Copies of this chain bind each other. A is one copy, B any other.
Amino acid sequence: MLLFVCLFALLFSSSSHAADFCVAKLKGAGNPAGYACRMPSKVTVDDFVFTGLGVAGNTTNIISAAVTPAFVQQFPGVNGLGLSMARLDLAPAGVIPMHTHPGASEVLFVVQGKITAGFISSLANTVYVKTLKKGDVMVFPRGLLHFQINDGEINAVAVVSFSDPDPGLQITDFAFFANNLSSELLEKSTFLDDAQVKKLKKVLGGTG
């Protein structure tokens, strides 16, 4: 047994980094690989468990839908482990609008209800759309535009997971209309009509 004591003492005595895991210190500065690790001695099982996905998101909003993330910012145990999760709730007619995850692929599992989901390939703009029922899985390749719509009659719930702890989320409508990007530049670069741009900027709180 001396060997083992000795071995483990040598391997891990003075270090806050371990090959096994790297629970994020969210207050510290991140870097391109994620967040700094908390000392293993301060890590407990609760750092590897996230309970926030057990509660339905509030779908009383204009899209009748909600996204509840379990990304590294909410769930620091996934830091450096190459994956994360989220929960989607969609009331009937609810929609997760067109969006991309700049840094991750996504798989979706339908827990309840019926979801029509699709993505658009950059290759000839081909559209891949399917209505998914409970238990079905769909994959959305990294960086591509995709959406989910509840066209059933009951609330739909899905669990999605990502190939990165910090997948990002860029909703096209928000990127276009919920900031101060000038209408002129936006119209020139999207060919959308001025009236359309003004209307959606108003709805989503944009200026310019």
A residues apposed to B, CB below 8 Å: 1-4, 6-8, 10-22, 25-37, 39-40, 44-46, 48-51, 53-55, 57-63, 65-71, 73-75, 77-85, 95, 97-98, 100-107, 109, 111, 116, 118-130, 132-145, 147, 149, 159, 161-164, 166-176, 178-181, 185, 188-193, 196, 199-200, 203-205
Contact = CB atoms under 8 A, between A and B. Distances in A.
B61 A1 contact: yes
A19 B102 contact: yes
Number of copies: 6
Nearest to A182: B129
Given A51-B136, A120-B181, A199 B193 contact: yes
Nearest to A4: B174
Contacts of A69: 7, 10-11
28 contacts: A1-B62, A4-B171, A7-B169, A10-B74, A13-B73, A17-B34, A18-B123, A20-B141, A31-B33, A32-B35, A48-B128, A48-B138, A51-B136, A51-B137, A54-B136, A83-B162, A85-B137, A98-B176, A98-B190, A100-B102, A116-B185, A120-B170, A125-B179, A126-B179, A129-B185, A159-B159, A163-B163, A196-B196
B125 A81 contact: no
A45 B129 contact: yes
Contacts of A111: 111, 159
Contacts of A137: 49-51, 53, 70, 75, 85
A19 B166 contact: yes
B17 A102 contact: no
A46 B179 CA distance: 19
